[in-house]
Amino acid sequence: MAEVRPDPDKLLAHLQAQEARARRGRLRIFFGASAGVGKTYSMLEAARGARSAGKDVVVGYVEPHGRVETERLLEGLERLPTFSVRYRRIVRQEFDLDAALKRHPDILLVDELAHSNPVGGEPPMRHPKRWHDVQELLEAGVSVWTTVNVQHLESLNDLVAQFTGVRQRETLPDHVFDEADEVELIDLPPEDLLARLHAGKVYIYDEVANAVERFFRIPNLMALREMALRRVADRVEAAARASAGVGLERRTRLPGERVLVATGPDRQSEQLVRAGKRLADALDAEWTVVYVETPALLKLSEAQRNRRIDLLRLGESLGAETVTIDGPTATEALLEYARIRNATRVLVGAPKRFGLKALWRPSTATELARRARGFDVITIAPAESVLPGQTREARSRPDNLPIPFRWDRYGWATLISMACTLAAFAMYPHFELVNLVMVYLLGATVSGLRLGRGPSVLTTILNVAAFDFCFVPPRFTFAVSDAQYLVTFAAMLIVGLLSATLMASVRQQTRVAGARERRSALLYAMSRELAATRGIAQLAAVAVRHVAEVFQCKAVVLLPDDDRKLHMPKGKPMEQSLRHPDLAIAQWVADHGREAGLGTDTLAAAPALYVPLGDAERPLGVLAVLPENPRRVSLPEQRHLLETFAGQLGVALERAQLADRTEAVRVAAERESLRNTLLASISHDLRTPLAAIAGAGGTLAEHGEALDKATRQSLARSVETKAREMSELITNVLDLMRFEVGQVVLRRDWQDLGDLIEAAERELGPRLAAYSVETRLPDYLPPVHVDATLVVKLFANLFDNVVKYTPPGTRVVISAVLDKSFVLLTVDDTGPGLPPGDPARLFDKFQRGSEEGSAVGVGLGLAICRAIVHEHGGDITARNRPGGGARFEFTLPLAPPAVLPASIQSAVSTVTGTNSARSTLGSEQ
Amino acid sequence: MNLILVVEDDAAIRNVLRALLESEGFRLCAAETATQAEFEARAHRPDLMLVDLGLPDGDGVNVIRHVRSWSSLPIIVLSARTAEEQKIVALDAGADDYVMKPFSPPELLARVHAALRRGTQRAQASHELLLGEVRVDIAHRIARGAGGEIHLTALEYRVLECLNRHAGSIVTQNQLAQEVWGRQRLGDTRGLRECIKNLRAKLEPEPHRPKYLVTDPGVGYRLRTSDASA
C-alpha cells in the first residue's frame, strides 16, 4: 500500500518531454540580481570560449551600452544585422528573428530575455516579447544564450516593486525561466556593484534612471541578491530531485496539492495571483486562478469586467490553469469548485468589510474560512502602500461606468403603478383598504419580476404614494390621520423592495445560467451538424456558418494540401466567409500549432485571429476569425468557446480524413482483389485460345506442305476465330476496367433506340443469323439521351448472351414501354432460361451461365451491361419468364430535350473547320 | 491495277495486308513512319491509302491532314483506337472510312472497294442511285419505287446527295450538318436524325431495320448502295 510506484503515464510523459527537449535547442540563462553584475560580459566571454572550441556561435542581439569591455569582447564574433522598426516616429533597432532562423547557428546570443518588442511598430514584429522569439528559435533547434535580471521574473515583480519602489514593466513568465536548460548565476557583492556604478560602468535602464538613488541602495541590492540566490538554489534542488528519478518526485510532492487563487474585479487580484504563484512554487503544487462571476458582478462596468481578461492572462503566463466560474455568491461557487478540484489551499484577499456591514453580509474571506472543509483558507493582506504606477493607472481608468439608463422600463414601472391605482379605485367601494394594499403589492412584484431592480423600486415608491394620496383618509392628501397606516406603508415598502431585490437576483442568475446553457447549446448544435456531415469541405462550411453566427464574425477554414501548404477554399465563398485572411500568418499557425493574430502573443496587430486545428505534427487546417467586435474573441471564456469549437472541428476533420483514408484503402483492396480474380480468369481464358493459335500457326508453318487443303484451311480458320475470341475478351476487360476506374464519361446525345439495336445486331453479324430478333418499339417512342456506343454495347452483350447460352433458332423479342421519365426495355428470349440461383448474381463479375463450358468469355458481359445501365442512371434486372426463357429488363432515362451548351457548339465548329477545305477539294475532283 | 499505300509500323500486319490485298489484285507500297508516308504518297500517287493512327514518329491524323491538303485520294484509317472521339477526329481530318483492328479481311476488302468506287463514281458524276427497288436521280430530283413516284424534300435530297458522294464510307454528323445546313446549324443532331428517319421511311423496305441508310452510332451515317454490299 505504502509502496509508491512510478506512474507509467508520468514516466512516459517524462520520456516524451526528454525526447522533445533533445530536438529543441538549449536555453542557457545568465542570471543576475541586478543590472551591472556583468551578465552580458560573462555571456560573451563564454561565447568566445565556445567559439574557440569550434562551436558555431553567432551574436543575435547584444546591447553593448557603449561599454568598452563589452565592445572588445564582441570583436571577432559574427553578428546578425538588427531589424529596424519604426515605432512612434523613432527607429528602433530590434532583434531580427527571421534572420536568426535563416542563419541557424549552433548557439545564438540574445541579450535581455525580458525585453518587449514594440507592438504596433512598422514593419510589425512577429511576437510582442523577446522570449517569444527565443521560444521559436529553441523550437527550430537553435540553442540560445541570454541574460535575465531577477527583478524581471513575473512572480517576483510585485515583491521587488514593494521594497525598491520601482516597478519593472518588462517581465518574464516564470515558466520560461524554469524551463531553461542551464541557469548560470552571475554574482557580485553589492559593494562591488556600487563601486562599478560609481565608476560609470553600469548601464542604467530607462525605468531605473529616475530612481537610481532609490534603487541602488545596499539593502535593496542585498534583497535582490538574496532573491536571485534563492531562485537558483530552488532550481538546483529541483534538478537534484529530477535526476534522482521520476518516482522520487512523486514521493516528495504532496499528493494532490492544489492551490486555488480566488480573484475578482478588485485591485488586489493581481497581487493574489502572484502570491499564488509563489505559494504553488513553494509547495510544488498545481495551481488554478479562479475568477468568480456572481450576479452582482454582472452589473459592473465594461472596463472593470475587461480587467478579468488581463488577470486571467497574467495567471496563464505564470503557469496557472485559469477558469471562470459562476454561482449565486462567490463563497458558494468557490466551495463547490474547491470540492470538485480537491483544492488544498485557497487564497483570498483579506476581508474588506468590517463592523456592522460584515455582520450583515460577511466578506467572502470570512465566509469561506467559516465553511471550509478539507482545505485551508489563506488570506492575503492588500499591499496598498506601494505601486505608485498601478494606482495612477487605476485612477485613470474610467471606473464604474453607469449602466445604461432604460427610460422605457421606468415608464412601464409608472404605468404599472397607475394600473394598480385604477384597479384600486374600482375596488374601493367594495373592499377593505387592506385588500387594496394587496393589489399594490402584486403590482410591485410584477414590476420586480419583469423590469429589474431600479424600476421596481420606483413602482414601490409610487405605489405607497398613490395609496396614501388616493385612499388613506383623509383622501387626496398625503396627510395620514391614523398612525397605523404608517405601518402599512412601511410594510409595503419593505415587501416591495425585498421582492425587487430578490427578483433582480433571480433574473441575474437566470442570465448567467442562460449564457452558460446557450454556450453548450451552440456547441451541441455545431457538433451535431458536424457529425451528420460528410466530406472535409462540407465540414469546413458547417463550421464557418456556426462560428460566424456565434461570434458575430467572418470566418474561414483554411485546409492544407499534401505538402501542408494552406489554401483558400476552392468553392464559392459564403456570406460569412472571411475573404482575405493572411495566408502567411495562417501558415505559421499551422506549422507551429499555436494561435496567432488578434489577442494573442504572436502578431497581435493582425485584424483576425488564427486558431490551429490539429497540432503541429499533423495540421488539419487553420480557422481564421475576423470578429466585428474584437472583444468577442478576446474574453477568456469566449476564447475558450472558440477553442472548443476549433477542437470539435479538428476532431471532425480528423474523422473525415480517416474516413477518406479508410475508404481509399478499402477501394484499393477491392481493386486489388478484383485484379487478382481477373488475372486468374483472364490468364485461363487467354491461354486457351493462344494455345490453339500457336498450335495451328506452328503446324501451318512447319508442315503446311504436307497437309491437304481442307486441313490447312481449318487450321487457318481456327487461328482466326480464336484470335477474334481473344480480341472480344480483351475489349470486355478493358471496358470494364474503364468503368471500375471511373474513367467512363458518357457522351450523351439524342439517339433512336431502333438505330442502336440495329447497330448491335450488325455488330454480332453472322453469329446472330441463326436467331430471330424482333424489335417491337412503339412508333411514338421519342429519342433517348444516351451514349450511343455504350448502349449498342449493352444490346450487343445481351445478344451475345443469347448466342452463347441458347440453342440456334431461339426467338428474341425486344419491346419498350414508355414511362414518365424513362423507357423500360425488355429483352425476352425463348431459350432454356436463367441458371438456378439468384439472378442478381449474374451481373457480378466472373459469373457465367455455366461453369467452364464451351461458352467463351470471362463472364464480364452482364457486368458490363449493368455498369452501362447504372452509368446512365437506370437499373437492370434478370428473371425467368413464366412461359420459359429469360427476360432482361432495364431502364434508360428520357432526358427532356435540352439546348446544346454554347461551349460544345463552338468546339464542334472548330473541329469541322479543317473539314471544309477538304470537302471543297473533294467536290472539285 | 490500283495502287494502295499501306502506312503501318507493325511488320506482321503489313505482311497480312500485303497477302490480302495482292490476292485481290491490288499493287502495294508501304511506309512505316509518318514522314515516309507523306513522301511515298507524293512519290507514288497511290489510288488509296490505309493509315494506322499510332505511328512511331507522329500521329496518323496529321498524315491524313497533310495528304488531304493536296489530294482527295480515298483514305481509310486502320486503327486499334476504339473511342468514338478518335474516330471522329480522324474522319473530320479527312479520312473517308475507319476500320478497327482487329479487322475481318472481307470487311476490309469491301471498304477498300467501296472507297475506290467512290473515287471513280465521283469522277463520272454519277447521280443515279439504286437502293433495292428504289431508283433515285439526285441531279433531277426524281425518286421512283415499286409503288410509283416518291416525294423527297429538298433537304432530304441534299442529305442523300452528300451521303452518295461518300457512298460506302462513313459521313460524320458534323460533316453532314455542315454540308447540308451550313455552319450555323452545327451540333444540331436532332434535325439530321429526323431527316434520316424520314428518308428511311420513304426509301427503306423495312424502316426499322435499315439496309441502305445505316447508322454508325455516335459517329455518323453510311450509305450502302445495293451494288456495293459492304
pLDDT in tens, A485-530: 888 888 888 888 888 788 777 777 777 777 777 777 778 888 888 8
Alpha-carbon Rg for chain A, nearest whole angstrom, is 44
Residue B48: is its pLDDT beyond 90? yes
3-state SS assignment for residue A121: coil
A395 burial level (CB within 10 Å; 0-12, 13-18, 19+):
exposed
Asked if A526 and A518 count as a contact pair (C-beta separation under 8 A), the reply is: no
Predicted pLDDT at A10: 67
- CA dist A825 and A760 (Å) reads 15
Percent of chain A with pLDDT over 70: 83
* Cis amide leading into A123 (omega within 30): yes
- Which of A693, A744, A780, A911 should be substituted to probe chain B, the one whose Cβ sees the most B Cβ atoms within 10 Å? A911
Give the pLDDT band of residue B29 (cuts 50, 70, 90): very high
3-state SS assignment for residue A167: coil
CA contacts within 13 A on the Cβ side of A152: 26
Mean pLDDT, residues A793-817 taken together:
89
Residue A851: is its pLDDT beyond 60? no
Answer whether A752 sits within 8 Å of B186, measured CB to CB: no
Helices (H), A116-156: 130-139
Tracing cell 431502333 back to the chain, one arrives at A754
Residue A690: is its pLDDT beyond 80? yes
Q: At what angle do helices A788-805 and A753-764 cross, to 10 degrees?
A: 50
Among chain B residues, the shortest Cα distance to A912 is held by: B92
Mean pLDDT, residues A771-777 taken together:
88
Predicted pLDDT at A917: 38
- CA dist B230 and B227 (Å) reads 9
Does A385 touch chain B if contact means CB atoms closer than 8 Å?
no
Mean pLDDT, residues A622-643 taken together:
79
Predicted pLDDT at A359: 61
Residue A663: is its pLDDT beyond 80? yes
Predicted pLDDT at A405: 61
Residue A693: is its pLDDT beyond 80? yes
- CA dist A603 and A596 (Å) reads 6
For residue B197, the chain A residues in CB contact (below 8 A) are 752
User: Over A867-901, what HEC string results?
Assistant: HHHHHCCCCEEEEECCCCCEEEEEEEECCCCCCCC
- CA dist A460 and A441 (Å) reads 8
Does A901 touch chain B if contact means CB atoms closer than 8 Å?
no
Q: Which residues are registered as beta bridge partners of A553?
A: A627
pLDDT in tens, B103-127: 888 888 888 988 888 766 655 556 7
Asked if A177 and A29 count as a contact pair (C-beta separation under 8 A), the reply is: yes
Residue B160: is its pLDDT beyond 70? yes
Give the pLDDT band of residue A903 (cuts 50, 70, 90): very low
- CA dist A598 and A605 (Å) reads 6
User: In the predicted model, what is the mean pLDDT of chain A?
Assistant: 78
Report the range of poorest mean pLDDT among A3-7, A485-489, B173-177, B186-190.
A3-7
Predicted pLDDT at A845: 67
Residue A623: is its pLDDT beyond 50? yes
pLDDT in tens, A16-35: 666 666 678 889 999 988 88
Answer whether A911 sits within 8 Å of B68, measured CB to CB: no
Give the pLDDT band of residue B147 (cuts 50, 70, 90): confident
Give the pLDDT band of residue A892 (cuts 50, 70, 90): confident
**What DSSP character marks residue B185?**
G
pLDDT in tens, A420-449: 999 998 988 888 888 888 888 888 888 887
Mean pLDDT, residues A460-477 taken together:
86
Residue A403: is its pLDDT beyond 50? no
Which cell numbers hold the place of A208?
A: 531605473
CA distances from A810 to A514, A806, A890, B164, B189 (A): 79, 7, 21, 37, 36
Highest mean pLDDT among A34-43, B24-33, B104-113, B207-216: B24-33
Asked if A620 and A614 count as a contact pair (C-beta separation under 8 A), the reply is: yes
Give the pLDDT band of residue B46 (cuts 50, 70, 90): very high
Other C-beta atoms lying within 10 Å of the C-beta of residue A913 = 12
CA distances from A719 to A618, A683, A726 (A): 60, 18, 11
Q: How far apart are the first and last CA of chain A?
A: 110
Answer whether B89 sits within 8 Å of A911, measured CB to CB: yes
Residue B50: is its pLDDT beyond 90? yes
Which cell numbers hold the place of A836?
A: 438456378
In 3D space, the residue among A545, A590, A549, A548 whose CA is nearest the CA of residue A567 turns out to be: A590
- CA dist B196 and A395 (Å) reads 96
- CA dist A557 and A577 (Å) reads 9
pLDDT in tens, B55-96: 888 888 999 999 988 888 899 998 887 777 888 888 888 898
CA diameter of chain A: 152
B116's CB contacts (< 8 A; 6+ apart) are B2, B47, B48, B74
Predicted pLDDT at A296: 65
Conformation bin of residue B9: beta by default, left when phi > 0, alpha when psi is -120 to 50? alpha
What ipTM goes with this model? 0.70
In 3D space, the residue among A881, A882, A835 whose CA is nearest the CA of residue A855 turns out to be: A835
Predicted pLDDT at A820: 78
Give the pLDDT band of residue B5 (cuts 50, 70, 90): very high
Give the pLDDT band of residue A304 (cuts 50, 70, 90): low
Asked if A193 and A32 count as a contact pair (C-beta separation under 8 A), the reply is: no
Predicted pLDDT at A678: 65
Predicted pLDDT at A814: 92
Does A576 touch chain B if contact means CB atoms closer than 8 Å?
no
Tracing cell 500521329 back to the chain, one arrives at B59
Give A424-429's long-range contacts (Cβ < 8 A, gap of 24+). A424/A466, A424/A467, A424/A470, A424/A471, A425/A470, A428/A471
Residue A924: is its pLDDT beyond 80? no
Task: Please work out, in degrees rounded to the nearest 5, the angle formed at the alpha carbon of residue B194 by the alpha carbons of B191 and B196.
Answer: 110
Highest mean pLDDT among A351-355, A463-467, A670-674, B209-213: A463-467
Predicted pLDDT at A733: 80
Percent of chain B with pLDDT over 70: 92
Give the pLDDT band of residue A203 (cuts 50, 70, 90): low
Answer whether A789 sits within 8 Å of B217, measured CB to CB: yes
User: Which member of A749, A752, A914 has the closest CB to residue B93?
Assistant: A914
Answer whether A914 sits within 8 Å of B65, measured CB to CB: yes
Percent of chain A with pLDDT over 90: 3
CA diameter of chain B: 57
Residue A834: is its pLDDT beyond 90? no
- CA dist A588 and A97 (Å) reads 14
Mean pLDDT, residues A591-597 taken together:
84
Asked if A459 and A443 count as a contact pair (C-beta separation under 8 A), the reply is: yes
Q: How far apart are the first and last CA of chain B?
A: 21
Alpha-carbon Rg for chain B, nearest whole angstrom, is 18
Go through A212-240 and write b for each residue having 16 or more CB atoms within 10 A of its CB, e for each that does not: eeebbeeebbebbbebbeebbeebeeeee
Other C-beta atoms lying within 10 Å of the C-beta of residue A613 = 28
Which cell numbers hold the place of A114?
A: 525580458
Does A759 touch chain B if contact means CB atoms closer than 8 Å?
yes
B interface with A, Cβ–Cβ < 8 A, is 65, 68-69, 72, 82, 84-85, 88-89, 92-94, 102, 104, 119, 122-123, 165, 174-175, 178-179, 183, 186-190, 193, 197, 208-210, 214-218
Predicted pLDDT at A832: 87
- CA dist A570 and A558 (Å) reads 10
3-state SS assignment for residue A451: helix
- CA dist A383 and A745 (Å) reads 80
Predicted pLDDT at A901: 42
Predicted pLDDT at B138: 83
Predicted pLDDT at A397: 33
Predicted pLDDT at A361: 64
User: Which member of B190, B208, B210 has the closest CB to residue A750?
Assistant: B190
In 3D space, the residue among B65, B87, B52 whose CA is nearest the CA of residue B171 turns out to be: B87
Element (H, E) at A610: strand A609-614
Mean pLDDT, residues A203-228 taken together:
72
Q: Phi and psi of A774, rounded to 5°?
A: -120, 130
Give the pLDDT band of residue A211 (cuts 50, 70, 90): low
Mean pLDDT, residues A91-96 taken together:
85
Mean pLDDT, residues A822-834 taken together:
88
Asked if A424 and A432 count as a contact pair (C-beta separation under 8 A), the reply is: no
- CA dist B84 and B94 (Å) reads 16
Mean pLDDT, residues A911-922 taken together:
38
- CA dist A46 and A181 (Å) reads 16
Higher pLDDT, A187 or A121: A187
Among chain B residues, the shortest Cα distance to A897 is held by: B190
Does A727 touch chain B if contact means CB atoms closer than 8 Å?
yes
Predicted pLDDT at A898: 45
Among chain B residues, the shortest Cα distance to A773 is held by: B209
Answer whether B197 sits within 8 Å of A752, measured CB to CB: yes
